Amino acid sequence: MERLLSVSNSLGKLFIITSFGESHGQCVGVIVDGCPAGLSLKAADIQKDLDRRRANVGVASTSRREKDRVKILSGVAGGFTTGAPLCLLIMNEDVDSSAYEAMKSQFRPGQADFTARVKYGGFNDWRGGGRFSGRITATFVMAGAVARKLLDTIGIEVFAHTVEIGGIKAATLPYEEIRRKALKDPFSCADARASAKMAALMETIKRKGDSLGGIIEGIALNIPVGLGEPVFDALDAELAKAIIAIPAVKGVEFGAGFAATRMKGSENNDPFTVKGCKIITTTNNAGGILGGISSGMPVVVRVAIKPTASIALEQSTVDIEKMKKATLKVGGRHDVCIVPRAVPVVEAMMSVMLCDFAMRAGLIPRVLK
């Protein structure tokens, strides 16, 4: 069974990101290859999104305290990208692997401990989850920050927000309001009333040593008609792939998604109309994608995040050394609910993929002025 190893840590065709590093190793980092020359890029541009990923406060958050300072090691000269690959690096600081020591031979349910051990023949860096830790998403966020700056140059805007935690649903609001309110909310939820309920629920669940999941909605505005490369590199297909690579994602749906399966064609079809000199649809059940190609309407994707696998409660598992059943209490520091922290990660993966498509379509010039 040990022969099953093979890996793939790169994503994209013209805007290509390569993730590396481990949770409790020396660093996490990402190479961005294909970034056009002439983009103004400072560490601060990237730090901003990293801080959003890290900063979530209160009950939702792990207590790991790292500054996560990004360094730009290559690809920038005089404050502008050079066209050469960017190396974006965070050195790990606050690493304490002791809590994991006990779990080395006992697989945490819901985690990659078992599958990684088998696939990598036991050589994988299991400390803190290694490559399977949520910490790896910091590399996605760094790459996403670069992609976002490139999308900015052509007016594409990407944002995400929490629409559900532990079954508590946020009210539907206009994009305008979502964008504004979600950024300020501790759970990235635009509906303050729902957010308060989520906070209370999380507090309760935390005391019980349990965890929660939820749903994030990602939105991209000002998308031109024509992004996506059917049949196989369809826009929705590639977005789904990029988003599902985020740990804990168990499903994605576009536009009306699973709800569309219960509608009739006459209800689900979005009628076309003319607005100014543009052709639009009066509804957006398609989530901005028709035939794998962007329609110019907002791209809307909803992402299912499972409840955090690491819980304080005792769980049944197997001790692989003894090859028999065992009970396990997971130590270490973990989030009650990672949904809020995953919001900037969903934005990052959407940005990376949309940037790649915009480049494939020739929309982002290879040298910016």
Query: Considering only residues 274-313, where is the footprint of its own copies by CB under 8 A?
Result: 274, 277, 279, 281-282, 285-287, 290-295, 304-311, 313
With binding defined as CB under 8 A, does residue 62 bind its own copies? no
Half-sphere exposure of 274 (CA within 13 A, CB side): 2
* C-alpha–C-alpha distance, residues 188 and 339, integer Å: 9
With binding defined as CB under 8 A, does residue 202 bind its own copies? no
Closer CB to its own copies, 4 or 55, in the complex: 4
With binding defined as CB under 8 A, does residue 2 bind its own copies? yes
**Which of the ranges 142-150, 162-170, 180-188, 340-348 carries the binding residues for its own copies, by CB under 8 A?**
162-170
Closer CB to its own copies, 195 or 285, in the complex: 285
Cα 176–Cα 351–Cα 282 angle in degrees, nearest 5: 45
Cα 89–Cα 134–Cα 157 angle in degrees, nearest 5: 75
With binding defined as CB under 8 A, does residue 45 bind its own copies? no
Please enumerate in sequence order all residues whose Cβ is within 8 A of that of 295, keeping only pairs 6 or more positions apart, or say none. 225, 281, 286, 288, 289
Closer CB to its own copies, 257 or 332, in the complex: 257
Closer CB to its own copies, 89 or 199, in the complex: 89
With binding defined as CB under 8 A, does residue 84 bind its own copies? yes
What separation in angstroms does the CA of 240 have from each of 149, 244, 295?
A: 22, 6, 17
By the 8 A CB rule, do 48 and 74 touch? no
With binding defined as CB under 8 A, does residue 184 bind its own copies? no
With binding defined as CB under 8 A, does residue 14 bind its own copies? yes
By the 8 A CB rule, do 291 and 235 touch? no
SS3 47: helix
Classify the C-alpha dihedral 129-352-308-4 as positive or negative.
negative
With binding defined as CB under 8 A, does residue 75 bind its own copies? yes
With binding defined as CB under 8 A, does residue 104 bind its own copies? no
Region of 28 on the Ramachandran plot (φ > 0 left; ψ -120 to 50 alpha; else beta): beta
Site residues (CB under 8 A) for its own copies, limited to 109-148: 109-112, 114-116, 118-121, 123-125, 127, 130-132, 136
Residue type, 73: L
Give the torsion through C-alpha atoms of 240, 309, 162, 354, to 10 deg.
-20
Closer CB to its own copies, 163 or 176, in the complex: 163
* Minimum distance of its own copies from residue 224's CB (angstroms): 7
Closer CB to its own copies, 69 or 180, in the complex: 69
With binding defined as CB under 8 A, does residue 218 bind its own copies? no
Closer CB to its own copies, 176 or 347, in the complex: 347
Closer CB to its own copies, 71 or 193, in the complex: 71
Site residues (CB under 8 A) for its own copies, limited to 242-281: 242, 244-245, 247, 249-258, 260-274, 277, 279, 281
Cα 144–Cα 149–Cα 155 angle in degrees, nearest 5: 115
With binding defined as CB under 8 A, does residue 154 bind its own copies? no
